[in-house]
Amino acid sequence: MSQFAAKRLAVVGLGLIGGSLAKALRETGCVEHIRAYNRSAQSLQFALQQGIIDQACSSIGQLCEGLEAGDVLVLGVPVLAAGPVLEQLHPAVEAGVTITDVGSTKSWLVAEAERVFGEAPSNLVPAHPIAGSEQYGVEASRADLFRAHRVILTPHANCGASHLERVRELWLACGAGIDEMTPERHDEVLGATSHLPHVLAYILVDLLCSMEQRGEVLRYAAGGFRDFTRIASSDPTMWRDIMIANREAISSRIDEYEQHLDRLKAALEDESAEAIQEIFERAQATREAFLKQSEQSS
């Protein structure tokens, strides 16, 4: 049972994840006051009208006013925007305020914090909830988005134990399970399991759009196409930033994927039914093991 409680929660970037976090903590009753800043005034007004937040802030400066030790500030912005936001937070937030994020890349955040602060501050706890949707924006937020999902905490070398524990308790309060790894390991793992699949979905749809017979192709696309390409409906800006921030790991995964495609292509050219069958059976067994593991952990 989580012991998390805070007087104030401040959110920079009230999208799907930031909005869902605000909703989840609102539902638990463990936060007294929730405020947010977002570039879209319309999204802020929606959140205010729906009771997701108590205060809509017109600037990051206003968001930081009155924050004290024990309060939590969450960065919910696209990953490439984290550095400029940290620059604004640096003089405005006292060391006792816990700062965390929800971004899909972690080494980039730590590097930006080191650039802005001189070293990654002890009150910064990078975190990544492994939950989401192809829908985006605060309008799509859900209080149960993180329930029975994993959140990866990636503490850096200077991370304070009390701040790390506070972020751990925050996510436990949302019904999530917690894992911990280094920022570098996180980016390698997510580069394969999350970032590469988004690359493939976007590229496949882009390929079909560039085909001369694209209208006919899309007309006869079945459920498999819909299932595989669902994530290509995700926020392009967010995923553009993720690709750039984690470009080395993603490039390596693309190289490995190309090698596997080459093997399959060679098997096709050789008309090797046995080699094709072996690839497909191995993939099927791996996915079934993944589904079984997911069911057991949920």
Q: Kindly report, residue by residue over 245-254, the tens digit of the pLDDT.
A: 999 999 999 9
Q: What is the pLDDT of residues 252-298, one digit of tens each?
A: 999 999 999 999 999 999 999 999 999 999 999 999 998 887 776 65
Query: Any idea what DSSP says for residue 69?
Result: T
Among the residues of the chain, which ranges form H helices? 16-28, 41-49, 60-64, 82-89, 107-117, 161-173, 183-190, 196-210, 214-219, 223-229, 236-245, 247-269, 273-297
CA distance 291 to 220: 29
3-state secondary structure at position 180? strand
- For the whole model, what pTM was predicted? 0.89
Q: What is the pLDDT of residues 134-155, one digit of tens each?
A: 678 899 999 999 998 999 999 9
CA distance 82 to 78: 7
pLDDT of residue 210: 83
Quickly count: other Cβ atoms within 10 Å of residue 114's Cβ.
14
pLDDT of residue 296: 67
Mean of per-residue pLDDT scores for the chain: 92
Superfamily of segment(s) 6-181:
NAD(P)-binding Rossmann-like Domain (3.40.50.720)
- Whether residue 48 is predicted with pLDDT greater than 60 in this model: the reply is yes
pLDDT of residue 298: 56
Q: Which of 193, 180, 188, 182 is nearest to 152 (CA)?
A: 180
- Whether residue 187 is predicted with pLDDT greater than 90 in this model: the reply is yes
Superfamily of segment(s) 186-297:
6-phosphogluconate dehydrogenase C-terminal like domain (1.10.3660.10)
CB-CB contact of 12 with 76 (8 Å): yes
pLDDT of residue 264: 96
pLDDT of residue 25: 95
Domain boundaries, the chain: 6-181, 186-297
Angle between helices 107-117 and 82-89 (to 10 degrees): 30
What share of the chain in percent tops pLDDT 90? 78
Q: What is the pLDDT of residues 229-245, one digit of tens each?
A: 888 988 898 899 999 99
pLDDT of residue 137: 86
What share of the chain in percent tops pLDDT 70? 97
pLDDT of residue 229: 86
Q: Which of 172, 137, 136 is nearest to 153 (CA)?
A: 172
CB-CB contact of 79 with 128 (8 Å): no
297 exposure class (CB count in 10 Å sphere: 0-12, 13-18, 19+): exposed
pLDDT of residue 88: 95
156 exposure class (CB count in 10 Å sphere: 0-12, 13-18, 19+): buried
Topology alike, domains 6-181 and 186-297 = no
